[in-house]
Amino acid sequence: MLTGEGLWFRYAPQLPWVIQAQTLAVEPGEVVGLMAPSGFGKTTLAKLLAGYLAPTKGRVSVDSQPLPRRRYCPVQLVFQNPELAVNPRWRIDQILREGHPPQMHQLDALGIHSGWLTRYPHELSGGELQRIAIARTLNSQTRYLIADEMTAMLDANTQALIWQAVLDYTRAHQIGVLVVSHDWPLVRRLCDRILDLAADQDHCTLVSGVAE
C-alpha cells in the first residue's frame, strides 16, 4: 500500500504551509481520484508521494518502507507537460531504455509509432511525447502511478485511448493509480474512490465508470 501519513510541507520555514496534515492511502490495483480547489497543493502532494519533494513533517511509504533515495522509485509521477520530464538531448529510444524498458505491445497500445523512436523530444508533438513519458513508467518496477492532469493537454479521443491502455496495464499488474485532475467527468469515469482534500476526508465512494 502507498501511504502518506500526517504530511506537512512548506518550501522554507518563513513561508506558509502548502500542505497541512494530509493523510491518504492507495491500495495496489486501486484507482483513486484526488480532487481539490486550486491552491490546495494537489501537485505538491503528488510530488511528495512520488519522492520529488521530501515532506517537512510526516512520511511517505510503500508497504511500510520509505521511498528509496537512489534506486528507481516504485511511485512514478506523470505531469501535464512531458517536455519537463524527458531529457531533451536524448533520442526517444534512449529515453525509453533508461531504467526498465516497456514492452513492444505496450508501445502499440499507447499508439507509439516505431518511427518516433529515432527522433528527439522536440521533434514530437506534446501528445506524442506524453505517450512516451507514460510508456516509460509502465514497467515491472512501478507499483504506483500518480497522474497529475496527465491527459489535460490531449484531445478526448487520445485521452480515452491512453487511459484505456494505462488501466489495462495497471489492472493486470496490480498497480495503484492516483488520478489528480480538475476534470470531474474524467475522475468519475476512471476512479474506484475519490478523495476530496477540501472535505478533509474520504467522503464518497463511487463505482468506477465501467460498472455505472
Of 142 and 149, the one with the shorter C-beta distance to another protein is 149
Taking the complex as a whole, the smallest distance from the CB of residue 183 to another protein amounts, in Å, to 7
Distance CA 42, CA 134 (A): 20
Taking the complex as a whole, the smallest distance from the CB of residue 125 to another protein amounts, in Å, to 4
Of 36 and 73, the one with the shorter C-beta distance to another protein is 36
Taking the complex as a whole, the smallest distance from the CB of residue 177 to another protein amounts, in Å, to 15
Taking the complex as a whole, the smallest distance from the CB of residue 60 to another protein amounts, in Å, to 24
End-to-end CA distance of the chain: 26
Alpha carbon of residue 100 to chain centroid: 17
CA-closest candidate to residue 173, choices 26, 29, 30, 1: 29
What are the helix (H) ranges across the chain?
42-49, 92-97, 104-109, 126-137, 156-172, 184-190
Taking the complex as a whole, the smallest distance from the CB of residue 179 to another protein amounts, in Å, to 11
Q: Among positive and negative, which fits the CA dihedral 80, 152, 134, 124?
A: negative
Of 117 and 153, the one with the shorter C-beta distance to another protein is 153
Binding residues for another protein, rule: CB under 8 A, are 37-39, 80, 111, 113, 115, 125-128, 149, 152-161, 163-164, 182-186, 188-190, 209
Of 13 and 212, the one with the shorter C-beta distance to another protein is 212
Of 29 and 127, the one with the shorter C-beta distance to another protein is 127
Burial label for 52, CB within 10 Å (0-12, 13-18, 19+), is middle
